[in-house]
Structure 1
Amino acid sequence: MEFSLSLIINVIITIYLFVDARKREKNSWVWGILGFLFGPIVLGIYYIQTGRKGLGWIIVILSILWFIFAVIFGIIGAVFGLFA
C-alpha cells in the first residue's frame, strides 16, 4: 500500500468543506466533491466566497505556485531522464 500525503490532505479538505458549507447554508455536496478533486485551490476559493478573502487569496496563490513548481520540476526531471 502506498502512502499518499496529498490524498490525506484532500480528504481533510473535503470533510472540512462539507461540514462548513452546511453551517453556512451552501451546497455542501458540491463543495465537498470539488474539494476532493482539486484540493487546496478550492479551499482558497471557498474562503474568498465566504468572506475570508485574505486567507483565501493566500491559499489560492500558494496553490498555483506549488502547481507551477511541480510542472517545472517535472519537465526538468523528464529532460534529465532523456539524457541519462
Structure 2
Amino acid sequence: MEFSLSFIINIIIAIYLFVDARKRGKNPWLWAILGLIFGAIVLGIYFIQTGRKGIGWTIVILSILWFILAVILGVVGALFGAVM
C-alpha cells in the first residue's frame, strides 16, 4: 500500500512539474523525470529555483526529515528483527 501511494504522489508531482515548468520556460521533461524519481525534494528545489523560496525550503526540510526518520526506523527494525 505504501509503495503504491508514494508512487501515485510522485506521479502527481511529476505532472505538476511538467505543466508548471513549461509555463515558466524551464525544461519540462527534466523536471518531470526528476520529480517522478525523487518526489517531494525535487518539488521543493523547483520551488526554490522559481522564486517561491518559503514553500520550497519548507518542502525540502520536511522531505529530508522524513527520509532520516525512515532510515532510522529501518535500522531499528532491522536490529530488532535480527535479535528476535
What CA distance in whole angstroms lies between the structure 2 residues aligned with 1:67 and 1:33? Answer: 20
Q: What does the per-residue CA deviation read over 1:18-69, in whole Å, with 9 as the maximum and x for residues that have no partner?
A: 0000000100000000000000000000000000000000000000000000
Q: State the match for 1:28 in structure 2.
A: 28
Which SS does the other structure have where 1:9 is aligned? helix
Mapping of 1:63-82 within 5 angstroms? 63-82=63-82
Which SS does the other structure have where 1:4 is aligned? helix
> Structure 1-normalised TM-score?
0.96
Structure 2: tracts of 5 or more residues without a match: none
> Structure 2-normalised TM-score?
0.96
Aligned length: 83
Q: Spell out structure 1 runs of 4+ moving beyond 2 A.
A: none
Which SS does the other structure have where 2:34 is aligned? helix
Give the superposition deviation at 1:4. Answer: 1.1
Mapping of 1:6-45 within 5 angstroms? 6-45=6-45
Identity between Structure 1 and Structure 2 (%): 75
